[in-house]
Amino acid sequence: MLTRLLIAALVMVAASPTATERPYALMVGDPAPALPVASWVQGDPVPRFEPGTIYVIDFWATWCGPCKKSMPELSALQKRFGDRVVFIALDTWDYADRVAPFVAEMGDKLTYRVAIDRQPAPPAGEDNIPMFVKANGECSKTWLQASGWSDEGIPALFVVDRSARLAWIGNEPAELEPVLTRMLANQWDQKKYSAEYARDAVVLKQGRTLESEIWEARQKKDWPAAIAGAKRLTALDPRYQGRAGLVFRLLYTNLGQRDEAIAYANGLIGSNSSAGAFTEMAEAIAADSTATAQHAAAGEKLARHAKELAGKR
């Protein structure tokens, strides 16, 4: 009996998803959370996700420039797809009393539904309402924090499919459009995308952890620790190659190890494709009033390389 129980327990452990497979509580493919909103500012309320309808949840705030920029594009998509897709602009991390005036000012640039995240009353003396809502807003917690997108920031776009499951997450309307087109044509490969998203989420979580460690080290002025963390980050995934610029700057400026910094930069030529990283390196040398002719020449070389990389895009 004990042996059978032990085998059953081992099977359950083997079958259950690991932290690597599910780095966040909310993943693509999961049932979509509810939308506990405080109020609806524009459009008909959406009390629940109805089967057969696709939804786009646009998390935003009145102070967010990229959020405002994307709204006309999302409004155009709402007009194009009609009632086959329901767009909801869900304000969060914000001052609730600023939402209605903002919506009125946007006019026909924001034509889809608008709701405000539900939150507890802030404590007396709380003066940073956006950060309070980020930590305590109900949609902020169940959508942004649970998925890890609170670390990415807003805007954040979530797609809920016809079966009320989370189908896609991103932040670019240009990327959203083909997703919706394929979903409506029943050509969206949810299984494939969910697997790709899960793999990417593992990398993103590791990257976010390293970014936090780097920030803490810099706050403590522990430059060697910050450099080590930034090097690990640049090696993690190509999307983090730009942090090589930080490694260089900390070596060159903060530690004064100018020759080591230049050797590090030269070692990246051919393997690092971030124009921004090499621009940051060149600018660090240009800002050095004590740079030798040799260092200045190295800076010019890095600036030329940055320009070449930028021209290849």
The pLDDT of residue 32 is 97
The pLDDT of residue 127 is 87
Residues 237, 203 contacting (CB under 8 angstroms): yes
Rounded percentage of the chain residues whose pLDDT exceeds 90: 90
Q: Which residue has the tokens 């767009």?
A: 87
Q: What is the pLDDT of residues 163-222, one digit of tens each?
A: 999 999 999 999 999 999 999 999 999 999 999 999 999 999 999 999 999 999 999 999
The pLDDT of residue 20 is 52
The pLDDT of residue 14 is 34
CA–CA distance, 73 with 85 (Å, rounded to integer)? 14
Q: Which residue has the tokens 């998390």?
A: 59
Binned at pLDDT 50, 70 and 90, residue 313 comes out as low
Quick one: average pLDDT of 146-161? 95
Query: How distant is the alpha carbon of residue 121 from its chain centre?
Result: 27
The pLDDT of residue 311 is 87
CA–CA distance, 155 with 59 (Å, rounded to integer)? 5
Q: What is the pLDDT of residues 45-64, one digit of tens each?
A: 999 999 999 999 999 999 99
| Distance (Å) of CA 71 to CA 20, 47, 94, 156 | 35, 23, 17, 12
Residues 247, 265 contacting (CB under 8 angstroms): no
Q: What does the DSSP assignment read for the chain? A: -HHHHHHHHHHHHHHSPPTTT-SSSS-TTSBPPP--EEEEEES----SPPTT-EEEEEEE-TT-HHHHHHHHHHHHHHHHHGGGEEEEEEE-SS-GGGHHHHHHHHGGG--SEEEEE--PPPPTT---HHHHHHHH-HHIIIIIIHHTTTTT-S-EEEEE-TTSBEEEEES-HHHHHHHHHHHHTT---HHHHHHHHHHHHHHHHHHHHHHHHHHHHHHTT-HHHHHHHHHHHHHH-GGGGGGHHHHHHIIIIIS--HHHHHHHHHHHTTT---HHHHHHHHHHHHT-TT--HHHHHHHHHHHHHHHHHHHT-
10-14, 24-28, 169-173: which has the minimum mean pLDDT? 10-14
pTM of the model: 0.79
Q: Which domains does the chain have, with CATH numbers?
A: 23-188 (3.40.30.10), 205-311 (1.25.40.10)
The pLDDT of residue 312 is 76
Cis peptide before 155 (omega within 30 of 0): yes
CA–CA distance, 275 with 234 (Å, rounded to integer)? 14
Binned at pLDDT 50, 70 and 90, residue 152 comes out as confident
Specify the length of the chain in residues.
313
Residues 120, 129 contacting (CB under 8 angstroms): no
What residues pair up with 200 in beta bridges, in sequence order?
none
Position 13 pLDDT exceeds 90: no
Q: What are phi and psi of 168, to 5 degrees?
A: -165, 145
Tokens of residue 162, six digits? 């016809």
The pLDDT of residue 10 is 35
Position 256 pLDDT exceeds 90: yes
The pLDDT of residue 1 is 40
Query: How distant is the alpha carbon of residue 67 from its chain centre?
Result: 13
Position 16 pLDDT exceeds 70: no
Rounded percentage of the chain residues whose pLDDT exceeds 70: 93
Q: What is the pLDDT of residues 232-246, one digit of tens each?
A: 999 999 999 999 999
Tokens of residue 171, six digits? 């932040």
